[in-house]
Amino acid sequence: MKTRTIKKNEIKAKWYLLDAEGIRLGQLARKAAVTLIGKDKVNFSDNLLSGDYVVIINAKKVSIYPKKKESKKYYRHSGYMGSLKVENFQDLLKRKPEQIIENAVKGMLPNNKLRKQMLKRLFVYPASEHKNEAQKPEKLLFNTK
């Protein structure tokens, strides 16, 4: 019996909705990354874009450990000498809450040629309203103890 490889046109991508309210950042990013990669599917293929679309709402209300709120720092550099910008978690949460989740998910995705395409399937919104109502995303639930 031969191993059957899946073709690109056989992959059907679904839309999923994740609510970030009260969920820890790491748990949210892990769930989004697994869905984007497609590891939770039966027909997973690591050389094809077999993941689904993920819409994350309420990015402003994402949870993190209290000690990390002061200590976690985000760095960005423009390329010019002396232009390293350092911003802590609380300031970035006020300014651009969607960037926090995008960075966390990006860190959990594989570093290969499909990474950019996977990130294009991630949509993060700071409030509960989003532009992807027409796609009718299914709500994705977390396994809570």
Give pLDDT, residue 1: 81
Residue 142 belongs to some domain of the structure: no
Residue 87 belongs to some domain of the structure: no
Per the structure, the count of domains in the chain is 1
Give pLDDT, residue 144: 60
pLDDT, tens only, 30-66: 999 999 999 999 989 989 999 999 999 999 999 999 9
Distance between start and end Cα atoms, the chain:
42
Residue 55 belongs to some domain of the structure: yes
Residue 51 belongs to some domain of the structure: yes
User: Which residues in the chain belong to E strands, given as ranges?
Assistant: 15-19, 53-57, 73-77, 84-88, 122-124, 138-139
Residue 1 belongs to some domain of the structure: no
pLDDT, tens only, 84-128: 999 999 999 999 999 999 999 999 999 999 999 999 999 999 999
User: Domain containing 118 — which CATH number?
Assistant: 3.90.1180.10
Phi, psi values for residue 63, rounded to 5° = -100, 150
* H/E segment holding residue 29: helix 25-37
* pLDDT higher than 80, residue 7: yes
Residue 141 belongs to some domain of the structure: no
Residue 90 belongs to some domain of the structure: no
Q: Using CB atoms within 10 Å of the CB of residue 47, give its burial: 0 to 12 exposed, 13 to 18 middle, 19+ buried.
A: exposed
Domain enclosing residue 26, as ranges: 13-64+96-128
* pLDDT higher than 60, residue 145: no
Residue 6 belongs to some domain of the structure: no
Would you state the structure tokens that stand for residue 13, as one six-digit string?
Answer: 């991508």
